[in-house]
Structures are given as structure tokens and as C-alpha cells.
């Protein structure tokens, strides 16, 4: 098993004819993902290699039975693209786009509450179940099939963790980034509960960062609900308060959202804390 995506996932790519869209659609196909459709308004009827392009997500779903969507559109169109996918009955929406206005996402999140779908992101690297399905922009070849679940708020930081795991012989069940924005879809707890329920996942690496309180809430959830071991890492202990550290969500506001508070919450709740990123693979080897 794995979580959220597997070899049966049928992917539609929104923004497929753009630079990034076409590049990453091809990368996903090369990895083995079943890409059945693309959408670019006004380019319906064209093809990207063998993938048919539609004007709307609804048409793409109707014609191809797509059940997941990868969004690679510019930020002003991000919120609209997510809502279009949700309205068309897409079950899993993965939004890579960075820079969507926060108030757009606030509306989207409330809209999605009325739909039966899951959003991953935005501002995330996507999700991968190694050897089965890659929906995102992560480099596929650093992954290896195995039993560790990886969840993170970051992109390249996740690649770093996965790379260390793979090099030490520890494969992954599913790896996903939930995104660096303050308002996002799937949160840590959603992923943790899915990993806990997944037979293939035996242990979890959780990578957080400064800003907000998602890590603290996840830590309390882990303590109460999880039996599988968790290794945790927090980025941004040296970040100054009041400054947005690249990610819109990575900001210490007043005294809330500090790395120290998150690490303390991890320790209090039985999470194995990694304090030095260079050692995270080794720590996982020891703990798992």
C-alpha cells in the first residue's frame, strides 16, 4: 500500500502546454505516472506528445476518467485552477504553484469544504509513491521503494531527507510536501493519520519549519494517536522574528511560531528530534 496515490492513479495536468507544465508532465510520464489528460484553456484539441489537451478540467475528466490533477499554472490563476478541478470531481488535487495570494487560498479552502476532494499544497513539491506514481516536481530517481513515510512543508529540504534515507538503504512508502504557504489543503495530521493506517509504512519522518502552529498540533496528535515511530526536524532555528523566510508561511509573529517551541513540543510528545540536518539519515537508521 501507500497513501493517496498509487499505480492506478490517472493524472490530468493543468497548465500542460506551459514551459513548466510540459517539462514536468513529461518527467512524470517518464517516471511511470499514468498521465491521461492535460488542460490549457484555448488549446483544447492539441496534444502534448500522446497526451490529449482539453479546454476545461470537466471535459478532461469526462473523456479520460482522470481522478487526480497536477496544477502548474501562474499564481494569479492558481486559486481558480484548484476550484475548477474540485468542481469537475477530481479526487486529489496537487498544486505546485508558489505565490497564490493568501486571501485567494482562504476562499478556496472554504470552497473545498463543500467538495469531496483532497488538496495537497499549494507551494509544494507534490507527492510520490516510489516506483508507482509521481505527481510533482521532485527528482524521481533519488527515491527508493520502502517503508518510511516522509511529510514536509518544504521542497528541496524534502529531497535532502529522501536522498539521505535512500543512500542509507531506507526506502519510502510515500513522500509528500504539504507546502510552505500559511493556508494550505492537506495538513500534517491528515498525512500522519494516513501513514498510521497504511500497512506498508512502518515509520515516519516529519519535516517542519518556523511559523504557525501546525507542528505543535501534529506533535500532540502523534502522542495520542500513533504507534509508529516518528523522527522530526524543524528548519529555521536561526531565523529572525518578523521576517518572511522565503515561504509565505515561514514567519515568526511576535512570540508565536518559533523553532524552539516546535522542538519542545516534539520532545514532549515522544518524537525523535534531529537537530542537525546532515545527520537525519543516520538518526532514522538508529531509531527505525
User: Which residue ranges make up the site for another protein (CB under 8 A)?
Assistant: 20, 24, 75-76, 98-107, 109-111, 125, 137-139, 142, 152-160, 163, 180, 182-183, 207, 209-210, 212-213, 233, 235-240, 242-250, 254-255, 275-279
Between the two ends of the chain, the Cα-to-Cα distance in Å is: 19
C-alpha separations of 215 from 10, 153, 197, 200, 207 in Å: 32, 10, 20, 24, 9
Nearer to another protein by C-beta: 165 or 183? 183
Q: Is 272 a catalytic residue?
A: no
Nearer to another protein by C-beta: 197 or 244? 244
262 near 208, Cβ under 8 Å? Answer: yes
CB of 196 to another protein, least distance (A): 22
CB of 122 to another protein, least distance (A): 10
CB of 198 to another protein, least distance (A): 24
Chain-centre distance of CA 30, in angstroms? 20
Q: How far apart are CA 217 and CA 159, in angstroms?
A: 24
Q: How far apart are CA 76 and CA 65, in angstroms?
A: 27
Nearer to another protein by C-beta: 63 or 260? 260
Q: Is 37 helix (H, G, I), strand (E, B) or coil?
A: strand
Q: Which of 24, 143, 247, 272 is catalytic?
A: 247
161 near 168, Cβ under 8 Å? Answer: no
CB of 279 to another protein, least distance (A): 7
Nearer to another protein by C-beta: 50 or 255? 255
What is the 3 state secondary structure string of 213-239?
CHHHHHHHHHHHHCCCCEEEEEECCCC
Residues designated as active site? 247
Amino acid at each position: 500500500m501507500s497513501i493517496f496515490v498509487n499505480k492506478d492513479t490517472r493524472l490530468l495536468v493543468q497548465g500542460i502546454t506551459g514551459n513548466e507544465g510540459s517539462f514536468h508532465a513529461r518527467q512524470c510520464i517518464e517516471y511511470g505516472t499514468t498521465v491521461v489528460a492535460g488542460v490549457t484553456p484555448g488549446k483544447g484539441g492539441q496534444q502534448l506528445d500522446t497526451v490529449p489537451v482539453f479546454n476545461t478540467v470537466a471535459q478532461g475528466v469526462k473523456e479520460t476518467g482522470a481522478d487526480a490533477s497536477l496544477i502548474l499554472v501562474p499564481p494569479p490563476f492558481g486559486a481558480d485552477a484548484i476550484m475548477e478541478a474540485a468542481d469537475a470531481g477530481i479526487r486529489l488535487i496537487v498544486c505546485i504553484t508558489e505565490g497564490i495570494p493568501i486571501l485567494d487560498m482562504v476562499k478556496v479552502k472554504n470552497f473545498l469544504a463543500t467538495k469531496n476532494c483532497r488538496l495537497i499544497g499549494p507551494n509544494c513539491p507534490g507527492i510520490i509513491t516510489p516506483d508507482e506514481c509521481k505527481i510533482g516536481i521532485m527528482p524521481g530517481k533519488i527515491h527508493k521503494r520502502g517503508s518510511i513515510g516522509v511529510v514536509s512543508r518544504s521542497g528541496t529540504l524534502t529531497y535532502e531527507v529522501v536522498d539521505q534515507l535512500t543512500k542509507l538503504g531506507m526506502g519510502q512508502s510515500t513522500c509528500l510536501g504539504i507546502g510552505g504557504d500559511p493556508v494550505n489543503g492537506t495538513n500534517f495530521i491528515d498525512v500522519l493519520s494516513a501513514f498510521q493506517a497504511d500497512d506498508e509504512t512502518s515509520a515516519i519522518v516529519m519535516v517542519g519549519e518556523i511559523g504557525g502552529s501546525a507542528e505543535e498540533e501534529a506533535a500532540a496528535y502523534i502522542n495520542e494517536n500513533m504507534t509508529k515511530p516518528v523522527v522530526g526536524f524543524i528548519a529555521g532555528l536561526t531565523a529572525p522574528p518578523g521576517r518572511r523566510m522565503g515561504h509565505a508561511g515561514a514567519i515568526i509573529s511576535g512570540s508565536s511560531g518559533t523553532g524552539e517551541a516546535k522542538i519542545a513540543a516534539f520532545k514532549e510528545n515522544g518524537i525523535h528530534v534531529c537537530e542537525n540536518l546532515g545527520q537525519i539519515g543516520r538518526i532514522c537508521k538508529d531509531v527505525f
